[in-house]
Chains A and B, each alone.
Chain A
Amino acid sequence: MIELLQFLGKATRKSFKKLGRATFFLLEIISGIASVIPRPRLLLKQLYSVGVLSFLIIVISGIFVGMVLGLQGYYTLSDFGAEETLGVMVAASLVRELGPVVSALLFAGRAGSALTAEIGLMKATEQLSGMEMMAVDPIKRIISPRFLAGLISMPILSALFSAVGIIGGQLVGSGLLGVDEGAYWSQMQANIDFEGDIINGILKSLVFGFVASWIALFEGYDAIPTSEGVSRATTRTVVNSAFSILGLDFLLTALMFGDN
């Protein structure tokens, strides 16, 4: 019994310690961003590996998610004779929820895990301490550009996901199932609000990009510098990012769409 309590206490203490380390790490990243701006080449390289390389998986998943929404939405809506509102359903669910959330989950899996592994290995092979020896701050040189790249890429990826998904829904809805194309678009335009839906969706994806890159970079930086440690850190990145994204999504949805 006492042992159980001790275990609980130790786990709590450790997780608070980790949270504290993560917070200080975040502050360091943010203060390091200022030194990224005069060196855009660093950022560009990371935008390539974080953003451009995630492009394909986002676009392909977006099309398929949109097509599935089109199919499922059609079957349900046609029971009520409301197939014409398929566009609203597809667009609203993509722009408000699925676009930011699914693209953030894919981002955590595709780019986040890569970031953790990369930084963990840099730590394990003592590249980071080597940099420190050469008086190069690894946070400014390695971490901050990656963080900024994640923050910039996420809204772009999420907007792409939603846009491609809506087109996918239209392909299935009006191409395959015979929903009127004009109704698909016009109902969508009448019911989707730019500020209320699209801007809020983008804001969500910014928050997710922030959290996912923070977790990925921190787990890499905080990893035990062995091959097992790096592998565990990579797993934790994906698990923790998924938890935080989904939990935050609930909070953000309650805040943004609660009053209507």
Chain B
Amino acid sequence: MQHTKTQDTLVGLFVASGIAGLFFLALQVSNLSSFVDQDSYAVTARFENSGGLKVKSPVSAAGVKIGQVSSINFDPKTYQSIVTLNIYSQYNNLPEDTTASIFTAGLLGEQYVNLDAGGSDSFLKNGSKIEITQSAIILEKAIGQFLFKSAEEKAQAKK
């Protein structure tokens, strides 16, 4: 009898450690913890070009993550990109004239939406639209412009 009892204990320990391992993976390793129990409200913004923005990209204000992108759609009428942002409910006092811009974290990093608070007295709420937006900077375009410009300058200097 003693033998089966130790066996029971060891099997119990084994299964428990497996569950603990799974919990560890779920909470510590994956992004599950970051959007569990987070109530949020949706705000849309139109961008001329949303660049490499992806669903679940972070939305941040002053460097703090306050939400994430929930969907990105193309509007066939205005040829713009409609980005829906889910902002956590605890940040419900963003002014209505907040500016949304798409930035890149580092030179080659992930793209994210940055919100710059405006000065209005009324706040963004579920379903609001962010009117003032700034598109993603496309690196290739910027480099192209720079090369073109520097070539032009050189040509002028020769004259």
- B-binding residues in A (CB < 8 A): 41, 44-45, 47-48, 51-52, 55, 91, 95, 153, 155-157, 159-160, 162-164, 166, 185, 188-194, 197-198, 202
Partner-contacting stretch, out of B7-15, B96-104, B114-122, B144-152:
B7-15
Contacts of B20 in A (CB 8 A): 163
Query: Which of chain B's residues has its CB closest to A49's CB?
Result: B7
The answer to whether B33 touches A159 (Cβ under 8 A) is no
Contacts of B58 in A (CB 8 A): 190
B78 at the interface (CB under 8 A from A): no
The answer to whether B29 touches A166 (Cβ under 8 A) is yes
B128 at the interface (CB under 8 A from A): no
The answer to whether B11 touches A52 (Cβ under 8 A) is yes
The answer to whether A48 touches B34 (Cβ under 8 A) is no
Contacts of B4 in A (CB 8 A): 41, 44
In the docked arrangement, what's the CA distance between A260 and B27, Å?
23
The answer to whether B21 touches A159 (Cβ under 8 A) is yes
Task: Give 12 pairs: A residue, B residue, CB < 8 Å, sorted on A.
Answer: A47-B14, A47-B15, A52-B10, A95-B25, A156-B14, A156-B18, A159-B18, A162-B29, A189-B28, A189-B29, A192-B30, A198-B25
- A-binding residues in B (CB < 8 A): 4, 7-8, 10-11, 13-15, 17-22, 24-26, 28-34, 58
The answer to whether B29 touches A95 (Cβ under 8 A) is yes
The answer to whether A155 touches B18 (Cβ under 8 A) is yes
Q: Knowing A44-B7, A52-B10 are in contact, say whether A160-B29 is a contact too (CB < 8 A).
A: no
Contacts of A190 in B (CB 8 A): 31, 34, 58
The SS class assigned to the B binding surface is helix
The answer to whether A55 touches B21 (Cβ under 8 A) is no
The answer to whether A192 touches B29 (Cβ under 8 A) is yes
Contacts of B34 in A (CB 8 A): 189-190
The answer to whether A194 touches B31 (Cβ under 8 A) is yes
The answer to whether B30 touches A193 (Cβ under 8 A) is yes
Contacts of A162 in B (CB 8 A): 21, 25, 29
Q: Give the distance to chain A from B31, nearest Cβ to Cβ, in Å.
A: 5
Query: Which of chain B's residues has its CB closest to A156's CB?
Result: B18
Q: Knowing A156-B18, A159-B21, A160-B17 are in contact, say whether A197-B30 is a contact too (CB < 8 A).
A: yes
The answer to whether B29 touches A159 (Cβ under 8 A) is no
Query: Which of chain B's residues has its CB closest to A80's CB?
Result: B108
Q: Give the distance to chain B from A198, nearest Cβ to Cβ, in Å.
A: 5
Contacts of A155 in B (CB 8 A): 18
The answer to whether B11 touches A51 (Cβ under 8 A) is yes
Contacts of A91 in B (CB 8 A): 29
In the docked arrangement, what's the CA distance between A190 and B14, Å?
30
Q: Give the distance to chain A from B141, nearest Cβ to Cβ, in Å.
A: 24
